[in-house]
Amino acid sequence: MDQNKNAAPQREAAMKSILAKMPGNDSASQRARLLAAMQTLGHVTSYEGSRLLDCYDPRARIHELRNKHGHTITTVMRDEETESGVRHRVGVYFLSQAKEGST
């Protein structure tokens, strides 16, 4: 757990950078931010997607990335503590491979 806490400020800064580089509230912008976070950081949680990447419902954007845009994304569930100190079950999304046909 200590290792995750040490990495948290760096992850948060990286996500804030992604958000600043990819502004917009439309679904395409939200998908782009989630995809960039998975590519850059290895994974993104539903919590990070909503709180740090400004995706109101990351699950919907992940669904679109999978089913409309052909990305292979794996979901693993884990318990995570929110800023209020309450533990919640969140999805952790991993981009499993490059999109077919991409270089």
- In total, how many domains does the chain have? 1
Please indicate, yes or no, if residue 102 is contained in any of the structural domains. Answer: no
Asked if pLDDT for residue 24 goes beyond 60, the answer is yes
Whole-angstrom CA distances from 20 to 16, 17, 54, 101 are: 6, 5, 11, 29
Residue 99's pLDDT is what? 56
Q: Among 6-20, 22-36, 54-68, where is mean pLDDT lowest?
A: 6-20
Residue 3's pLDDT is what? 43
Phi, psi of 78 (to 5 degrees): -150, 160
Averaged confidence pLDDT in the chain: 90
Please indicate, yes or no, if residue 19 is contained in any of the structural domains. Answer: yes
Residue numbers of the domain that contains 68: 2-97
